[in-house]
Amino acid sequence: MKQELISKYRPYPSLDLPDRTWPEKRIEKAPTWCSVDLRDGNQALIQPMSLEKKLEMFHLLVAMGFKEIEVGFPSASQVEFDFTRKLIDDNLIPDGVLIQVLTQAREKLIRKTFESVQGAKEAVVHLYNSTSTLQRRTVFQMSKKEIIDLAVHGAKLLKEEEKKYPETKFRYEYSPESFTGTEHDFALDICERVMQVLEPTPENRVIINLPATVELSSPNIYADQIEWFCKNMTNRESAIISLHAHNDRGCAVAATEMAMMAGGERVEGTLFGNGERTGNVDLVTLALNLLTQGVDPEIDVSNINQLVDVYERVCRLPVHPRHPYAGELVYTAFSGSHQDAINKGMHAYEANGSGLWEVPYLPIDPSDVGRTYESIIRINSQSGKGGVAYVMEKYFGFKMPKSMHPEFGTVVQKVTDTEGRELSHKDIHATFETEYLSLNSPYELKDFHVVKRHVNAEVPESAADVEATIVVDGRDVTIAASGNGPLDAFCTALKNGVTGDFKLQKYHEHALNGGSSARAAAYIEIRNPDGKACWGTGVDTDIIIASIKAVLSSLNRYKKSLSIG
């Protein structure tokens, strides 16, 4: 960057707080959540929500378990006012859910705001005015005293209007807007002056909301500001310290978590972080961060697909595919080494039975948020053997031997390189089918019989006589031999009558599915006279036939490699 650009900026001042305690603390309980999707989130949309869409979002938030919801800025527009009235008039607010309405510290707006909540059982009226050094100087051109007088006058109006609506229990919230851009002693002074008017008690606490309206510093400084404020309040027990972080520096989640450690008890934010500029703090991310630390988030985020669906439809904004926890690709691994680690980790998790989630590269179990394992591993040119093996086992039941993984991984990688695209699970299975199960040239099994078995208790191995008909390059060839069991006898007959010498090196088998028509899969690796080894696979309801098909599969793949080479 050019020096003249760098010199335009200066570091945000740190706070002198040598006795800070928050770095040693842990978050052990969820905060009180307040969704501001219907207000702060809505005002940031290119096309604000209609009344119907606001209702859909409200119902989603209630279903998720939010107990405090800022439903709008009813003095700002008729839609906001009408929505607040509809919630009250149609009795749509469940017991235990507290609606919140926002107003500036202006008389006309405050009176309109109280009209909007007439008849509600309970409501929070959220009063704010800007206190920042910069805005006092450049926007309002007001002194500190004038700013305080504005806030105090607004608080007095709240108490005055409250008397007109005795049927409603009112709670109050005050925000020194742009708290992080305000001198900390002035922010404390104005909040305490407002509290003197509102007269909160430990039984009826006021919400003091300390917003990072613009994120100006690193997260630790926001935490310092919160701890300093809490330590220096004269009536701390009568206040709920609320946090409202924006994301201008991309650190809103971290700033909020640190500020919770510093004394924040309540968090305002939006689903997926929608809001002005780079957005508000993301409540879904915060909640799932708590879950990964063994803390109950106290809101339901177990159906992430539904949350994304409603959010995208109502807000007309996409959730980024790499968005934490919710993005389409966040439980997906394309990298070969990642896929291999996930594959092994999933097997270990299923085997140990402890219930403790420990899988590499997956900080959360996708099924806990309503995702299936289907999305975990996807295959493109960056993928490796572990991911391919995982897909074949998880979705199609083929438990390939570990030593077979590199061979089939190479087969799939050639396809991805040729196609230049991601392969679906069906594509991978089709490749396996073509390469191992449907390759019938030059050798194809036409008929097979075990003529006789010989069992001798004094001899470790049983013996068998077999006969088979093999189609070799379009003509039938009948072969027969004896051996230590049907597979050994078949290989002997094949060597003597058709192929010449080869060595059966490795053999694996397993059931593919249960029931009376269960099929078996057999995997056989054969080393040929030139030293080249190839795996083959066979599937049949008879494990002996499956093994014989696997032998022919390997030999056919070897012949194919010679013709390609």
- In this prediction, residue 361 carries a pLDDT of 87
pLDDT in tens, 475-503: 999 999 999 889 999 999 999 989 999 99
At residue 436, what is the residue type? Y
- In this prediction, residue 421 carries a pLDDT of 80
In whole angstroms, what is the distance from residue 497 CA to residue 84 CA? Answer: 87
How would residue 344 be classed by pLDDT, with cut points 50, 70 and 90?
confident
Query: How much is the average pLDDT of 391-416?
Result: 89
Residue 63 reports pLDDT greater than 70: yes
Choose among 71, 127, 128, 126: nearest CA to 97. 71
Percent of the chain with pLDDT over 90: 76
Q: Are 44 and 276 in contact (CB under 8 A)?
A: yes
- In this prediction, residue 26 carries a pLDDT of 96
DSSP string, 339-380: HHHHHHHHHHHHHH------BTTBSS-GGGGT--GGGTB-BS
Q: Are 529 and 540 in contact (CB under 8 A)?
A: no
- In this prediction, residue 385 carries a pLDDT of 64
pLDDT in tens, 423-439: 888 999 999 999 999 99
pLDDT in tens, 293-331: 999 999 999 999 999 999 999 999 999 989 999 988 888
The answer to whether domain 22-315 and domain 443-564 are alike in fold is no
More confident residue, 255 or 331: 255
Superfamily for domain range 22-315: Aldolase class I (3.20.20.70)
Collapsed DSSP state (helix, strand, coil) of residue 401? coil
All residues at 6 or more sequence positions from 113 whose CB lies less than 8 Å from its CB, including other chains: 74, 75, 101, 102, 103, 125
Query: How much is the average pLDDT of 460-479?
Result: 87
Query: How much is the average pLDDT of 189-210?
Result: 98
pLDDT in tens, 164-175: 999 999 999 999
pLDDT in tens, 361-385: 889 999 999 886 555 555 554 555 6
Domains of the chain by residue range: 22-315, 336-417, 443-564
- In this prediction, residue 375 carries a pLDDT of 55
Average pLDDT over the chain, rounded to an integer:
92
Q: Let me know if domain 443-564 sits in CATH 3.30.160.270.
A: yes
More confident residue, 281 or 336: 281
- In this prediction, residue 337 carries a pLDDT of 77
In this predicted structure, which of 227-241, 262-276, 460-474 has the lowest mean pLDDT?
460-474
- In this prediction, residue 384 carries a pLDDT of 56
